[in-house]
Amino acid sequence: MAKDIHWARDLYGVLETAGQTPVARPLAALNTAYATDGIVIRATAKVAKPISLVYLHGAETSDAILHHVVRVEEGAELTILENGPAAARFNKCMEISVADRGRFHHVRAQGRDHERRAATHMFARIGAESAYKSFTLTVNGVMTRNEHVIEIAGNGAIAHVAGAAMGDAKINAFHQDDTVFITHDAVGCESRQVFKKVLRNGAAGVFQGKILVKPGAQKTDGYQISQALLLDDEASFQAKPELEIYADDVKCSHGSTTGAIDDTALFYLRARGVPRETAIDLLVLAFIDEAIAEIEDPALQDDIRTRLQLWLDRRRRD
């Protein structure tokens, strides 16, 4: 950003500022004001391979503020992967502009930093016939809040946001919050919010999701689901799904469920010789798979499933 990159300067802080209305996001404003590091990426065609951002930190008391800017030009396509611990206290913003007929894919894994306290924000504006798809896996971490603020500004665009969280507070506290605000301001657009959380030993999960359909945004198709699987009586989940609709030709739905392991399914597996802990892990993976299926690349889906299986295996040994 020290260079004279006009396309980045035109975006920096603009989408974040727009995302402050109608709900203030003070940590994002702090990020824009004080961040001195970040990545700027401009895609002008289809990028053959994903761009992988790997975060590293070497001190248990580290702080990091990062601000990324991504521009996907008309007809271009880009995949960004995020992985690795960034800091003990992490504040990150990513502003994404997707032009007409552009495609943006994002897959993020948060997990190796057990003491993580993180606030992440993704602000996006997408044009006509474009696609924005983001998936986040969250395991471990004392406190994590992931926010998405997306404006669908062009006709025929789609925005899919999904997440899976696995929380076990037996060793460290675990509080994980997904907050999503999608605004439909164009005709014939589609949005999906699919979030699954598995919680135990006092772990806490939160989902806040809103679909706003502005006047004139006819033929909108909005879908939102948040579900939690509580593996004991100490875990908790709070959900706040919202629809605010000012157009009359739309199809929007939302739902939220909280429950325990299905005793019938567990009995079915146990009756066929599957050990109890293995059977529970199989049901957990099946429960989460709807969110993982939102990832477009099958190889990345398999990578996320493998990470979850390894996490379950480690927790079983603990």
Ranges of the chain with pLDDT below 70: 1-4, 317-318
Beta bridge partners of residue 228, listed in sequence order? 197, 258
pTM of the model: 0.95
Q: Tell how strand 117-126 and strand 89-98 pair up.
A: parallel
Nearest to 228 by CA among 185, 260, 251, 264: 260
Q: Residue 138: in which H helix or E strand, if any?
A: strand 131-139
What is the SS3 assignment for 131-191?
Answer: EEEEEEEEECCCEEEEEEEEEECCCCCEEEEEEEEEEECCCCCCEEEEEEEEEECCCCCEE
Residue with tokens 């003990």: 88
- pLDDT tens profile 31-72: 999 999 999 999 999 999 999 999 988 887 889 999 999 999
Mutual orientation of helices 263-271 and 276-292 as an angle, nearest 10°?
Answer: 120
| Interatomic CA distance for residues 153 and 127, integer angstroms | 5
d(CA 126, CA 53): 22
E-assigned strand segments in 187-317: 190-200, 204-213, 220-230, 236-245, 250-259
Q: DSSP for 93-124, please give it.
A: EEEEEE-TT-EEEEEEEE-S-TT-EEEEEEEE
Quick one: tokens of 317? 């040994």
Chain segment 101-150, per-residue pLDDT in tens? 999 999 999 987 788 899 999 999 999 999 999 999 999 999 999 999 99
At 219 the pLDDT is 98
